[in-house]
């Protein structure tokens, strides 16, 4: 899929940067994502990103899910199954990254990084609360607390091994290590490579792009679209932070940090593909009415391949901006 843009390059920063929640209905996701590519050309500082985070803060409580709810009632069981799977991956992922970021705030090598990372922690909690509200008002649940709901929607290892590895094993191990060794700079570099470049950059932003572009083509640009587009704008800041952090560390000591980034990326590459594997290999998760309406002419296999290519090529561009050139 070629990028679908609406706003010209020279206006994108101004228009996306200040857009309020209601205005998110008319935004194209590729315009939001273009901020990452523009940022790579001239990386913002930690405090630039901190100030943006403060200005762009939003509240899930300001969203209106009534149209999402009205549509949900009439969806086919197949469409619901497909959407619930994709949203569980995001909901669980947001909750996990929210819960695992605090050790990085603690291990931050300077106050500017610490300030930005603290805003990011608040962002990830906001994204989790966004899904909590959506689940209660649209999908439906009897879970009494956020803990119970997270337990209910959590991705099980048998559903997707690579996903479980990222969120329930690898990231928690790295976070635990940073918490007990806050002076270990290699540990922060390894953590940011997995968290910001791979999980947020390659997995989240790719999934968000295809989910939101599909939603817009389907015609549902209501509460969910507004909130998740705002979340994508937040994620684009997080990814730019990750690129900036790794570039700064690499410049400081290429021989020390270069190999850490490269080996971490090597280990992640097969996991990126595996994470995009549907439960039990059932490709209908990529198909159905949604495919016919939003991606006419495509097939589930082609859509999945396109997403993997998109994830890898964006990862490659970001690594290039860090100063790492390797074949993906």
Residues at the interface with Fe ion (CB under 5 A): 94, 124, 127, 200, 235, 238
Using the minimum distance from each CB to Fe ion, give the nearer residue, 53 or 303: 53
Using the minimum distance from each CB to Fe ion, give the nearer residue, 197 or 249: 197
Among the residues of the chain, which ranges form H helices? 9-18, 29-41, 46-55, 66-73, 77-100, 102-107, 111-134, 146-153, 161-164, 171-180, 185-192, 205-218, 223-252, 254-275, 289-294, 300-322
The nearest distance, CB 273 to Fe ion, in angstroms, is 21
CA distance 90 to 45: 28
> Phi and psi dihedrals of 43, rounded to 5?
-60, 130
**What is the signed CA dihedral for 106, 161, 308, 288, rounded to 10 degrees?**
-120
The nearest distance, CB 241 to Fe ion, in angstroms, is 9
The nearest distance, CB 202 to Fe ion, in angstroms, is 13
Using the minimum distance from each CB to Fe ion, give the nearer residue, 104 or 286: 104
Using the minimum distance from each CB to Fe ion, give the nearer residue, 37 or 200: 200
The nearest distance, CB 16 to Fe ion, in angstroms, is 17
| Tokens 């956020």 sit on residue | 146
Using the minimum distance from each CB to Fe ion, give the nearer residue, 127 or 244: 127
The nearest distance, CB 169 to Fe ion, in angstroms, is 19
CA distance 295 to 79: 15
């Amino acid at each position: 899929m070629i990028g679908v843009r609406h706003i010209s390059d020279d206006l994108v920063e101004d228009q996306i940067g200040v857009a309020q929640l209601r205005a998110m209905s008319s935004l194209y996701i590729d315009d939001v994502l273009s901020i990452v590519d523009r940022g790579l050309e001239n990386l913002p500082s930690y405090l630039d990103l901190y100030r943006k985070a403060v200005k762009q803060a939003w509240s899930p409580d300001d969203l209106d899910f009534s149209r999402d709810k009205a549509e949900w009632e009439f969806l086919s069981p197949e469409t619901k199954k497909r959407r619930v799977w994709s949203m569980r991956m995001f909901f669980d992922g947001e909750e996990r990254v929210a819960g695992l970021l605090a050790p990085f705030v603690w291990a931050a090598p300077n106050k500017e990084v610490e300030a930005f990372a603290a805003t990011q922690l608040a962002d990830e909690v906001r994204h989790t609360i966004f899904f909590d509200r959506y689940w209660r008002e649209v999908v439906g649940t009897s879970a009494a607390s956020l803990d119970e709901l997270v337990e209910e929607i959590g991705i099980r290892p048998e559903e997707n091994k690579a996903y479980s590895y990222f969120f329930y094993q690898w990231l928690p191990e790295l976070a635990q290590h940073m918490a007990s060794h806050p002076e270990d700079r290699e540990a922060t570099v390894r953590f940011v490579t997995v968290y910001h470049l791979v999980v947020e950059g390659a997995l989240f932003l790719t999934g968000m792009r295809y989910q939101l572009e599909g939603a817009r083509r389907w015609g549902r640009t209501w509460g969910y679209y507004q909130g998740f587009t705002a979340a994508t704008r937040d994620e684009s800041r997080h990814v730019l932070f990750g690129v900036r952090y790794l570039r700064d560390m690499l410049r400081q000591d290429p021989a020390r940090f270069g190999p850490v980034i490269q080996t971490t990326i090597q280990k992640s590459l097969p996991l990126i593909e595996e994470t995009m594997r549907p439960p039990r290999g059932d490709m209908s998760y990529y198909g159905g009415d949604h495919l016919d309406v939003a991606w006419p002419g495509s097939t589930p296999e082609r859509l999945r391949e396109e997403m993997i290519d998109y994830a890898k090529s964006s990862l490659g561009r970001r690594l290039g901006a860090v100063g790492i050139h390797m074949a993906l």
